[in-house]
Amino acid sequence: GFTGPLELEIGSGAGGHALEYCRRNPGVRFVAFEWRKKYARDTQMRAEKAGLKNLRVVESDARFVVPRIFAPGSLDVIHLQFPDPWWKRSHAKRAVVQPDFAKVMLGLLKPGGRFDMRTDVQDRAVAMLEILEAAAFHNPLGAGVFHPYDPEEVPSTRERRYLASGEPVYRARLVKSAP
């Protein structure tokens, strides 16, 4: 219902990041995808109770729906926070960051658009960063380099626990280069 930057969060979980981000950034149009019904519905209900007009939650698997509802070059930022690591080899195909979907996400971003990723699993962080950089995402700090914590960032519920305990979080802030 208004203009402003369009941002996507894939796998919003319990909604801690989405809700706080939208509260701090009321001019951003924010779409959060979550496949777990309970989390998706609870997050949308909490947004409505808080009067957040800039958040919409979609209860679906982002890998299949995102390419259908967003036009190429329409997104300013894509957030991916603590995706399921899918430990078993037979489940690896369920991971969000796969080579084909990385190319789809790159195509959905505007030139200069940002991909913000965070995880606590080092192996997955390294693998995701390699896939994203191979898909032509640009890492301003250099290939394979993770970004430091920025206190101005909005942490997810899970990330707040890691910040309190001092456990590592692997972050990447990648950009889509201008053509």
Three-class SS state of 99: helix
Query: Among residues 123, 116, 61, which one has the least CA distance to residue 87?
Result: 123
Distance CA 20, CA 26 (A): 10
Edge-to-edge strands, sheet with 6-10:
55-59, 29-34, 6-10, 75-81, 109-119, 170-176, 137-138
Residues 6+ apart with CB under 8 A from 155: 16, 17, 163
Catalytic residues: 84
Distance CA 116, CA 153 (A): 10
